[in-house]
Homo-oligomer: A and B are copies of this chain.
Amino acid sequence: MESLNRVTEPKGRKRSSKRDPEANRRLLIKATLDTIADIGVTDTSVSRICERSGLSRGMIHLHFGGKDNLLTAAAQHFSTEYYAEMDRLADLGSDASPEDRVMAVIEADLSEALLNPRSTKIWHAFRGIASSHPGIARYSSTQDPKLVETLRRAFMEIAQQNGHDPNLVNDATSGTLALLEGMWVNYLTDMQIFSRRRSAELIRRFLGGLFPGKFML
């Protein structure tokens, strides 16, 4: 964001310990997400966010201009963080086999780092209000272009070894994302019963059927 690196800033110190607007901005966003995960969007009010962050009530209007903008910023932050973590977990080098790369995405999406009580609650809360909140809808899509491209490229490599029809790659990509979506819902519905391993193996099995001879255990 902040494009100018203030030349007056000495050493590597982060400003001067107090009065850090940027840190407070982030603190508010974090408090918002935590509150949503704890008590739900419906009960997430300005007062509640402030009391959790330890900041005063005026800060939201000061830094975001209103509650709606804070919510949108929180949704954007959450989405960005999610895909950044996905990149970190699933980005094997391009020397890895396409099957391994696909499975890396699946296992990353089902890992505790991405799929946990906090993130599922936040994710579904945002999705639930997205229809009536255009600003949030922009960040509640599961079809991140980069992730889609990663999957598509991998499936393409697998498919062109044999002679499959062109829609196969599209279907494999959409189907994989849809299956993962379903797994998140299963996790939200009953976290006790849910098994990350079984979920990953289920998806592998579906892909194995789609690409005979591939995705075997």
Contact = CB atoms under 8 A, between A and B. Distances in A.
Interface of A: 39-43, 120-121, 124-133, 137, 140-143, 171, 174-175, 177-183, 185-186, 188-189, 202-203, 205-206, 208-212
Given A185-B181, A210-B209, A129 B140 contact: no
A202 B168 CA distance: 9
A150 to B, nearest CB: 18
15 contacts: A40-B132, A41-B42, A42-B129, A43-B132, A120-B131, A124-B128, A125-B129, A127-B188, A140-B189, A142-B185, A143-B189, A171-B206, A175-B203, A175-B205, A209-B211
A175 B183 CA distance: 9
Name the residue among A125, A179, A186, A206 with the largest chain B CB count within 10 angstroms. A206
Nearest to A174: B202
A177 to B, nearest CB: 7
Given A141-B189, A142-B185, A143-B186, 12 more contacts: A40-B133, A124-B127, A124-B128, A125-B128, A126-B128, A131-B188, A137-B189, A171-B206, A174-B186, A175-B203, A181-B181, A181-B185
